[in-house]
Amino acid sequence: METATAQTATRQLADLPAPGGLPVVGNLLALRPERLHTQLEAWQAELGSPYRLKLGPQQVYVSADPEVLQTVLRDRPERYRRVHQIERCIAEMGSNGVFSVEGDAWRPQRRLVMEALNATHFRGFLPVIEKITARLLRHWQAAAAAGTVVDMSRDLMRFTVDVTTALAFGEDPNTMDNDGDVIQNHLAEVFPRLMARINAPVAYWRHVRLPADRRFDRSLAAIHAHVDRLIAAAHERLRAAPPGRAPGNVLESMLRASEQPGSQVNDAVVHANVMTLLLAGEDTTAHTLAWTLYFLAQHPHWQEQLHLKSREALGDAALPATLEQVRALDLLESAANEAQRLRPIAPVLFFEPNQDVVLDGVALKARTPLFFVLRPAMLDAAHFASPLEYRPDRWAPGHVVGTHNSRAFLQFGAGPRVCPGRHLAGVEVRMVLAMLMRNFRIELMVDPAAVREVLAFTMMPSEMPVRLHARAQAARIPA
- Extract the annotated binding site: 419
Q: Which residues pair with 60 in a beta bridge?
A: 53
452-456's contacts with Cβ under 8 Å and 24+ in sequence apart are: 453/35, 453/37, 453/38, 453/343, 453/347, 454/34, 454/35, 455/33, 455/34, 455/35, 455/36, 455/37, 455/195, 455/347, 455/348, 456/34, 456/191, 456/192, 456/194, 456/195
Query: What is the Cα 463 distance to its own chain's centre?
Result: 18
Residues 143/445, Cβ–Cβ less than 8 Å? no
Residue positions in the annotated binding site for heme? 419
Q: Could you check whether the bond before residue 416 is cis, i.e. omega within 30 degrees of 0?
A: no
How far apart, in whole angstroms, are the C-alpha atoms of residue 197 and residue 249?
Answer: 33
Angle between helices 330-342 and 422-439 (to 10 degrees): 110
How far apart, in whole angstroms, are the C-alpha atoms of residue 53 and residue 61?
Answer: 7
